[in-house]
Amino acid sequence: MRRIAPALLLFATPAGAQVCAGASASMASDGRAFGHLPYGDAPPDDLVAAPAGFALNGCQLRRDVIPDLERLLAAAQGDSLVMGQLRALSCHRSIIRQASVFCRAHPGAPTDADATRAISVAPPGHSEHSTGYTLDFAIRPANGCPDAEACMAATPAARWLVKNAPRFGFEMSFPGGNKQNVKWEPWHWRWVGTSATAPGAARARFVFARARDQFPADPAVDRVVTIANVVPVAFVSVPAWVEPKVSKKKRRR
């Protein structure tokens, strides 16, 4: 068996994103597949259970997310219009799990169907859910609005999230009209911390740096400003030049 040089393993890039039925989709130069940016899996040791009673079908998130999530739920509980309505529909999904979610609707469908599917579901290896920083909210009672549908935006609980979630470090990844060509998802929120110095926020913001720069969330926790190739210039105040006085000495005769 031939050995592969480590350098080849380090610098080789995949030809395409793996999708359904063993097919692959071409990726953009920045790694996007069907508009979705690439993300790795959260380390299992970093994942913990969400607050009791919050998840509909089990939910694990990065441990750094939990304190802000608990504060968000406590604040929502204090609003009579929202009290007890927020639930977790989906939290961390491994890349393997994402593959089953992406392909289950149309197993064995041709690759062009994957592009249509990707408008609402990220292909495996390109979902924010795999990071462990993202969750989909659900509303209970649903009052006739199916989970993960735009009608959720009209509910008091969803409007409360838009107004208040950024105060707790959460931002809406896919607002209406986003340039990633992903449908509006008022239920999908990622955690980036309340500030850059909040515990764990630096790592989360590093994971989502490209997304936050190129495809801003709305509402967002804070505005992202990219400064590249800027050379600082120091301005020094120079006083006006004044001709010095020269004393004239009398010559001795």
Q: List per-residue pLDDT tens for the chain, 253 residues long.
A: 443 333 322 323 345 666 776 777 778 888 899 999 999 999 999 999 999 999 999 999 999 999 999 999 999 999 999 999 999 999 999 999 999 998 885 555 555 688 888 999 999 999 999 999 999 999 999 999 999 999 999 999 999 999 999 999 999 999 999 999 899 999 999 999 999 999 999 999 999 999 999 999 999 999 765 544 433 333 333 344 344 455 555 555 5
What angle in degrees, to the nearest 10, is found between the helix axes of 156-164 and 66-77? Answer: 130
What is residue 25's three-state secondary structure?
Answer: strand
Residue 68: predicted pLDDT: 98
Answer whether residue 21 is part of any domain: no
Domain that holds residue 60: 28-214
Answer whether residue 159 is part of any domain: yes
Number of folded domains that form the chain: 1
Residue 15: predicted pLDDT: 52
Answer whether residue 107 is part of any domain: yes
CATH number of the domain bearing residue 156: 3.30.1380.10
State both tokens at 126: 């390109």
Residues 6 or more apart whose CB falls under 8 angstroms from that of 26 comprise 15, 16, 33
Answer whether residue 67 is part of any domain: yes
Residue 20: predicted pLDDT: 78
Residues 6 or more apart whose CB falls under 8 angstroms from that of 154 comprise 145
Answer whether residue 226 is part of any domain: no
Q: pTM of the entire structure?
A: 0.81
Which amino acid is present at 31? G
Residue 137: predicted pLDDT: 98
Nearest C-alpha neighbor of 65 from the set 39, 99, 92: 92
Answer whether residue 227 is part of any domain: no
State both tokens at 183: 């449908």
Residue 247: predicted pLDDT: 56
Answer whether residue 221 is part of any domain: no
Answer whether residue 174 is part of any domain: yes
